[in-house]
Amino acid sequence: TVLDDVSFCRWLTTEIGVAAIPLSVFCADPFPHKLIRLCFAKQPATLLAAATRLCQL
Protein backbone atom coordinates (compact mmCIF):
# COMPACT_ATOMS: atom_id res chain seq x y z
CA THR A 1 0.00 0.00 0.00
CA VAL A 2 1.06 3.59 -0.51
CA LEU A 3 -0.42 4.56 2.86
CA ASP A 4 1.77 5.01 5.91
CA ASP A 5 1.05 2.68 8.82
CA VAL A 6 -1.11 5.21 10.70
CA SER A 7 -3.28 5.96 7.67
CA PHE A 8 -3.55 2.28 6.82
CA CYS A 9 -4.72 1.39 10.33
CA ARG A 10 -7.28 4.19 10.23
CA TRP A 11 -8.54 2.93 6.85
CA LEU A 12 -8.58 -0.70 8.03
CA THR A 13 -10.66 0.23 11.07
CA THR A 14 -13.15 2.57 9.40
CA GLU A 15 -13.59 0.84 6.04
CA ILE A 16 -12.99 -2.85 6.79
CA GLY A 17 -13.99 -3.01 10.45
CA VAL A 18 -10.76 -4.56 11.73
CA ALA A 19 -8.83 -2.55 14.31
CA ALA A 20 -5.04 -2.42 14.20
CA ILE A 21 -2.36 -0.31 15.84
CA PRO A 22 0.54 1.15 13.84
CA LEU A 23 3.90 0.23 15.38
CA SER A 24 5.26 3.69 14.64
CA VAL A 25 3.24 5.11 17.54
CA PHE A 26 5.50 3.19 19.93
CA CYS A 27 8.70 4.78 18.55
CA ALA A 28 10.21 8.15 19.40
CA ASP A 29 12.28 8.27 16.21
CA PRO A 30 10.80 7.97 12.74
CA PHE A 31 9.99 4.31 12.11
CA PRO A 32 10.92 3.35 8.52
CA HIS A 33 8.71 0.25 8.31
CA LYS A 34 5.02 -0.16 7.64
CA LEU A 35 4.13 -2.63 10.38
CA ILE A 36 0.90 -3.02 12.30
CA ARG A 37 -0.13 -4.77 15.48
CA LEU A 38 -3.28 -6.87 15.82
CA CYS A 39 -4.85 -8.14 19.03
CA PHE A 40 -5.90 -11.78 19.18
CA ALA A 41 -7.39 -11.64 22.70
CA LYS A 42 -10.92 -11.84 21.34
CA GLN A 43 -13.72 -14.35 21.17
CA PRO A 44 -13.32 -17.00 18.42
CA ALA A 45 -16.31 -15.63 16.50
CA THR A 46 -14.78 -12.14 16.47
CA LEU A 47 -11.45 -13.49 15.22
CA LEU A 48 -13.17 -15.49 12.49
CA ALA A 49 -15.12 -12.43 11.34
CA ALA A 50 -11.92 -10.35 11.25
CA ALA A 51 -10.04 -13.07 9.36
CA THR A 52 -12.84 -13.29 6.82
CA ARG A 53 -12.73 -9.53 6.24
CA LEU A 54 -8.94 -9.52 5.93
CA CYS A 55 -8.97 -12.42 3.45
CA GLN A 56 -11.24 -10.40 1.17
CA LEU A 57 -8.65 -7.63 0.76
Per-residue model confidence as pLDDT tens digits over 29-51: 887 888 999 999 999 999 999 99
Res. 12 pLDDT band, cuts 50 70 90 = very high
The total number of structural domains that make up the chain: 1
- Is residue 35 a contact partner of residue 20, using CB atoms and an 8 Å limit? no
Count of alpha carbons within 13 angstroms of residue 11, beta-carbon side: 11
- Is residue 38 a contact partner of residue 8, using CB atoms and an 8 Å limit? no
Residues 14-43, mean pLDDT to the nearest whole number? 91
Q: Which domain holds residue 10?
A: 5-55
35, amino acid identity: L
- Is residue 12 a contact partner of residue 5, using CB atoms and an 8 Å limit? no
pTM above 0.85, yes or no: no
pLDDT of residue 14: 97
Name the maximum alpha-carbon separation found in the chain.
37
